[in-house]
Amino acid sequence: MTEFRSIAGPLPSIPDDLTIPQFIFGTQHPTRPSRAESIPWLIDDHSGRSIRRAELIQRTRSLANAMSSKWNIRAGDVVCIFSPNSTDYPVCIWAVHTIGGIITPANPAYKADELVHQLRTTRAALLIIHSAFLDTAQAAAREVGLPADRIAFFQAPPRPFASSHSNLDELIKYGSSIPPIYTELRFKPGEAKTALAFLSFSSGTTGKPKAVAIPHYSVIANVVQMTAHYKLDDPTQKNKRFMPGDVGIAVLPFFHIYGLVVNLHFLLFAGLSIVVIPKFNFSAFLDSIVRHRITHLLIVPPQVVLLCKHPSVKNFNLSHVKFCMSGAAPLSGELVHELRNVMPNSAIGQGYGLTETCTTVAMIPPAQHIATVGSAGQLIPGIVARVVKPDGSLAREGEQGELVVTGPSMALRYMNNEAATKETFVDGWVHTGDEVIIKNNEIYVVDRLKEIMKVRGFQVAPAELEGHLLLHPDVADACVVSIPDDYSGELPLAYIVLSDSAMRRVSGNAQAAVQLKAVLAKHVADAKVPYKQLAGGIEFIDAIPKNPSGKMLRRVLRDQARKVKASSSEVRAKL
């Protein structure tokens, strides 16, 4: 049997009796670098305020006490966070975990219907929001029957709600003023492997977003795996890639698994300070990198494109950056080369992982300064990988097939979705849906077998967009495919078969066709988060190609769309 394993050394012990906050706040794990108490844990980007371990522990415990007193949040209850990044975002996470609750982080750009799906799927008992997204939160809460007093705010709510809704500072003050009424969650050996910490949403291999059930142990395991990969506990290593006193930047959203596990929990465990940025603005991002002397950038390909192409970059000296890793979507060799000119002293590479693998499967190895072109990284300790060919046999090194992985960090299942669980989680192995080649212990992503596309690093399921398009009376059939884009990686393009009445209206009338495309694009935009919108365009087609059993031949239209795009790009280049 051909299996691939990390060559980075053995996997250290992973505690299976700790909650995530107990692990993060504790100092007992032997791989953990020693951090001086004077080194901040979090830094607010705007104000520059530093927050250290003692303050984070105090805020976490006080908030846990307040949640227990005010809403009776207990073990197994789900709390949804609907907010951009904040220095109190991890406090909310750890407070809920302290009392045995489960966090489901939601994208604050969601429209009401998308938030409804998440609240309903997870049966959330409490919603903590940023006030800018109150309208969406209220609409979703009403739809699922969540009482108005079960909405709390990160900051002071708008004036009409000030007397009836709590904010975090008030809750923390209240929680610290009353005797402790909560019982901190304590696991027996092995219980952390099944006790849920997160219900993080992923589109999996197809369909609408699904709640990935992630236990405390999976997050802890992945942090230990990454620590072992970079040998952070090796006293003989000089110039370690991550060191206490280094400064990372949290521009990746904490609701995304990459930002949640790697950018937040791993960097904190490694001893770094994290500058927390609520919203990505490129010019402000550059200013923050220089102002805070950022040493570590964890980013996604669209941000790499801006670093390489945006004219304002030349006004900033980024020579102090010593590590830059891109993830969530493939990064081209050309961009890596251009990035070297922008950050001449930085190690540059990629990582690979999924929500379902919580999180990292591969990362740029510690010995590499510039990653191997096309590589998504080297397998980290504890990961076992197989490459399965179409006939079900296992590929050897250098042969192509679907990546299937296992290890201590794998998620457990999709919540309340047995069919999707059976498709992805098989006997402890996760079927990634990515077609890869493994060579020299490094993963090269060749294509996606699954239908999911990646837009700016976010998963987009064609079936979700097709289902929504079919709700429009002018649409008889639809197929959504991806087309490549330099900035976003991929963009959704919809092939649409019109109803008979719509076809009569647009036949021979180019202006009517343009207007109808705009109407259909708005139909999607009104209901879906921006990265799910049809930025790749809409094309009318007589029929969607299907096989004899009626299954949509998506690849036929995808290949057709990419040929058209390539031809138009060649024409523009000649002009």
Give yes or no for a contact between 231 and 380, defined as CB atoms under 8 angstroms apart: no
Which DSSP category does 258 fall into? Answer: I
Q: Among 195, 70, 196, 188, which residue's Cα sits nearest to residue 128?
A: 70
Mean pLDDT of all residues in 365-394: 93
- What are the tens digits of pLDDT across the range 190-213? 999 999 999 999 876 556 789 999
Question: Is residue 110 classed exposed, middle or buried when 0-12, 13-18 and 19+ CB atoms within 10 A define those classes?
Answer: buried
Residues in the chain, how many?
A: 575
Q: Among 306, 251, 316, 318, which residue's Cα sits nearest to residue 280?
A: 251
CA atoms within 13 A on the CB side of 477: 11
Over the Cα atoms of the chain, what is R_g? 24
Residue 571: per-residue pLDDT: 40
Task: Assess whether the region 20-30+50-186 and the region 455-574 belong to the same CATH fold.
Answer: no
CA angle 334, 488, 534 (to 5 degrees): 150
Give yes or no for a contact between 370 and 317, defined as CB atoms under 8 angstroms apart: no
Task: Give, rounded to a whole angstrom, the gap between the first and last alpha carbons of the chain.
Answer: 54
Instruction: Give the tokens for residue 243.
Output: 């060191």
Cα distance between residue 122 and residue 102, in whole Å: 9
- pLDDT of 574 > 50? The answer is no
- What are the tens digits of pLDDT across the range 322-348? 999 998 667 777 788 889 999 999 999
The domain 20-30+50-186 having CATH identifier 3.40.50.980: the answer here is yes
> Which amino acid, one-letter code, is at 356?
E
- pLDDT of 520 > 90? The answer is yes
With residue 342 as reference, give the H or E element that holds it: helix 333-342
- 250 strand-pairing partners: 276
Mean pLDDT of all residues in 555-560: 86
> Class for domain 198-448, per CATH?
alpha beta
- pLDDT of 572 > 50? The answer is no
- pLDDT of 479 > 50? The answer is yes
Ordered by start, the domain boundaries in the chain are 20-30+50-186, 198-448, 455-574
> Class for domain 455-574, per CATH?
alpha beta
Mean pLDDT of all residues in 351-378: 93
- Residue identified by tokens 């698994």 is 257
Per-position b or e across 51-78, b if 16+ CB within 10 A of its CB: bebeebbebbbbbbbbbbbbbebeeebb
183-191, long-range: CB within 8 Å, 24+ apart, which pairs? 183/99, 184/64, 184/98, 184/99, 185/19, 185/75, 185/97, 185/98, 185/99, 185/100, 187/16, 187/17, 187/18, 187/19, 187/216, 188/17, 189/16, 189/17, 190/16, 190/17, 191/16, 191/17
- What are the tens digits of pLDDT across the range 36-88? 999 999 999 999 999 999 999 999 999 999 999 999 999 999 999 999 999 99
pTM for the full model? 0.86
Give yes or no for a contact between 213 and 414, defined as CB atoms under 8 angstroms apart: yes
Give yes or no for a contact between 301 and 308, defined as CB atoms under 8 angstroms apart: no
- Residue identified by tokens 């909650």 is 19
- pLDDT of 548 > 60? The answer is no
How far apart, in Å, are the Cα atoms of 351 and each of 226, 326, 378? 11, 6, 8
Residue 8: per-residue pLDDT: 84
Say which residue, 459 or 19, is predicted with more confidence: 19
Cα distance between residue 62 and residue 173, in whole Å: 7
